[in-house]
Amino acid sequence: MIFQKNTLLLAIILLVGCDNSRHIQYYKTPKKDFGIIQTQSNEDSKQQVISNLSWDLPKGWIPSKGHSMRLASFDVPFSTGVGDLSIVSLSGISGGLLANVNRWRGQINLDPISENQILEVSEVGESKMGAFRIFKMVNNLNKEKAIIAAVLPTGNKTFFIKLTVSQQGLGELESVFENFCSSIGS
């Protein structure tokens, strides 16, 4: 009987005590490129210069063919697809914020809004060439197409940086888009 009691005890200890997971781990690995711009060191960022305009190109962005209006185009991958990023340079203010933002809104079937509303929904960022405004445009009826765009006015030119991507992609790429815009300089 004593054997049986010990057997039972041993079985219970094994059943309760066995665990294959060390749930918290700490280790060091050789440096890996996470595709982000590091704040301490710019060694990993790849600076690209096109038409006297420079930017830090995030890892994984692939130059693509755009139409002639575009200064540059990139395929921007995210977890379930690829977004299209364009950089366009136009002289002066090129129709102004209102016309351009409402044109983009129209591309994803959103109604036009007023200039005050546009300024309310935009965020401001700072690039090497000055401040820019970022606009996020999402239509809940069309999850496959959303737009995040930045307008960067300089003295005699305005730069339009626009990323067209699914809503999922917008969520994933928003911060890297903002970092990219911040890196733009001359």
> Which lies closer to other proteins via its Cβ, residue 154 or residue 182?
182
> Which lies closer to other proteins via its Cβ, residue 17 or residue 155?
17
Contacts of 150 (CB under 8 A, 6+ apart): 125, 132, 133, 134, 135, 159, 160, 161, 162, 177, 181
Burial of 24 (0-12, 13-18, 19+ CB in 10 A): exposed
* In the complex, least distance from residue 65 CB atom to other proteins, rounded to whole angstroms: 14
* In the complex, least distance from residue 91 CB atom to other proteins, rounded to whole angstroms: 32
The full 3-state SS of 85-144, as one line of letters, equals EEEEEEECCCCHHHHHHHHHHHHCCCCCCCHHHHHHHCEEEEECCEEEEEEEEECCCCCC
Under the rule (CB under 8 A), what is the footprint of other proteins? 1, 3-5, 7-8, 11, 14-15, 18-32, 34-36, 38-41, 43, 58, 60, 77-80, 136, 138, 140, 146, 167-168, 170-176
* In the complex, least distance from residue 141 CB atom to other proteins, rounded to whole angstroms: 12
* In the complex, least distance from residue 92 CB atom to other proteins, rounded to whole angstroms: 31
- Backbone phi, psi, residue 39, to 5°: -75, -30
> Which lies closer to other proteins via its Cβ, residue 79 or residue 116?
79
> Which lies closer to other proteins via its Cβ, residue 51 or residue 175?
175
